[in-house]
Amino acid sequence: MVITRLGVDADSKISLLEAQIKAAKKVRADAKAKANAKKGEVVVTEDNILAGTDVWNLHGAVNRDLAIQHMYASNWRSGESTLVVARKNGAVEVVSKDSGESLYTFSEPEFNAPFSVKSNGKTISDRRYVGIGASDNHFITATNMGEVRYQSYGDDEQSDSAATLLRLQIDACKMRVHDKRASIFAVGGREQELTVWDAETAKSAGSSTEFSKPSGTPIFKSKNVGHDFLDMRVPVWITDMQFIDDNTTNPTIAVSTGYKQIRIYDAKAKQRPVHDWEVSKHLINHILVSHAKPELFFSDNEGNLQKMDLRTGRIIGGYKGIAGAVKAIALSEDGTKVAAAGLDRFLRVYEADGMHRMLHRAYIKQRVSQVVWDWEHRDVNQEEIDQLDADSIWESMPKLESSTEPKKKGSSKRKAIAVSED
């Protein structure tokens, strides 16, 4: 596990074929840059792609057992900026964003215990996290086996005090928390409809130390769409979801499916989606709702990153240069830049609008699993950099002392020169 201002999955081995492909891409990119240099066009190449980009390891070393499966940016109890990470070995850790110091660690009991369960025509034999969220005092996790833990940090790192342990349907694919309230979460998966729960009210029916079915009812539970044109049932496969608005009672949620659709659910309208758009030719694995505009970014398992209008469902842009499935997407605070990373081990930053140009690219050396944009470190554009440089120059210049003697109206030397010229 390595954090380079983002969580990465650990795999330091690079095959000869990948190295050859990378070298061939570099040759083609450089050739294209030279061909367009005469036209005055600026083309991103391997030599100038990292201009203005700073990449460093914040915490950790390469270790597959400590690979980060999910990551969430939050504030610690003291107000310190932290990253809450869920690891492959079942540990939940709170890491300081500035120093990389581990502030809290919790290990899920029996996370790596061997098991085998058949579900939806396949065998599940390993447990993994499908989502994580956090607030100042609590964290929430969910696994593919439908096990949801909502727990306070507490004084004892291994304590189960004030924990809510819910057992939902197995074969879950994704869990997301509400940005305004971490106890509210949405979950869905294979043959598992979208459900929204409040962990503070959905108490488990069993003991506080074992996962059990919730005693209450969900805030919202969706219904499948109607039968297709052959009057056959449409299969359910929810791959990702995100809350669109701030409403915690009747939320509006965007959902992606493994069957190429983007759906919008409005809890106060009906249980079936209010919008159902088929927007891709491939499985959609990640979505990101923009906080700046009514837009949604989505990626598929073929390396396509696109943007759509949430009001009409129309595709309004795409981002080129990605090879392999996109594993994570993040948006800057002002909504002008979007970052994407995936199986090709590159982190790319694009213009969110306009020409959608690639602004930065960094080779991370490991398979990237999660990306979180640090909003506390605000981007500075070139005009602001020039202004800061000018201000520093003026501040460094020595100040001239004012003279108390009255100024003379003319110079005797100038007068003498003038007379001699006559």
pLDDT digits (tens, 9 = 90+) for 255-314: 999 999 999 999 999 999 999 999 999 999 999 999 989 999 999 988 899 999 999 999
pTM, 2 dp:
0.76
User: Are residues 340 and 371 in contact, defined by beta-carbon separation less than 8 angstroms?
Assistant: yes
With cut-offs at 50, 70 and 90, classify the pLDDT of residue 202.
confident
Q: How far apart are the first and last CA of the chain?
A: 87
**pLDDT, tens only, 335-348:** 899 999 988 889 99
| pLDDT recorded at residue 93 | 93
User: Is the confidence at residue 200, as pLDDT, over 90?
Assistant: no
Please say whether the dihedral angle defined by the alpha carbons of residues 230, 234, 235 and 240, taken in this order, is positive or negative.
positive
Take residue 17 and report the two structure tokens written for it: 């074929």
pLDDT for 206 equals: 62
Whether 243 contacts 176, CB under 8 Å: yes
- pLDDT of 20 > 70? The answer is no
Decide if pLDDT at 86 tops 90: yes
Band (87; pLDDT cuts 50, 70, 90):
very high
Can you tell me the distance from the alpha carbon of 129 to that of 147, in angstroms, rounded to the nearest whole number? 9
Among 128-137, 204-213, 317-326, the minimum mean pLDDT is found in 204-213
- Rounded mean pLDDT of the chain? 81
Q: What is the DSSP letter of 306?
A: E
The model's pLDDT over 375-414, given as tens digits with 9 standing for 90+, comes to 776 555 556 666 766 777 777 777 766 555 555 554 444 3
Position 334 scores a pLDDT of 87
H or E element in which residue 39 lies? none
What are 209-235's pLDDT values in tens digits? 788 888 888 999 999 999 999 999 999
CB-based contacts of 330: which residues, under 8 Å, 6+ apart? Answer: 288, 338, 339, 340, 371, 372, 373
Specify the pairing of strand 68-75 against strand 172-177: unpaired
d(CA 401, CA 26): 58
Higher pLDDT: 80 or 305? It is: 305
Give me the pLDDT at residue 76, please: 83
DSSP letter for 214, please. B
Nearest to 312 by CA among 264, 355, 356: 264
What are the CA-CA distances from residue 418 to residues 407, 408, 409, 410 (Å)?
20, 17, 15, 12
For residues 174 and 115, the answer to whether their CB atoms sit within 8 Å is no
Residue 410 pLDDT? 47
198 is written with which tokens?
A: 């409040």
Q: Is residue 419 pLDDT above 50, yes or no? A: no
Tokens (6 digits) for 417: 């020169």
Q: What is the residue whose two structure tokens read 């030279």?
A: 34
| Residues 6+ away with beta carbon under 8 Å from 388 | 380
Two tokens at 182?
């971490």
Q: Is residue 7 pLDDT above 70, yes or no?
A: no
CB 261 within 8 A of CB 285: no
Q: Is pLDDT at 70 greater than 90 in this prediction? A: yes
Alpha carbon separation from 157 to 65, 72, 199 (Å, rounded): 20, 19, 20
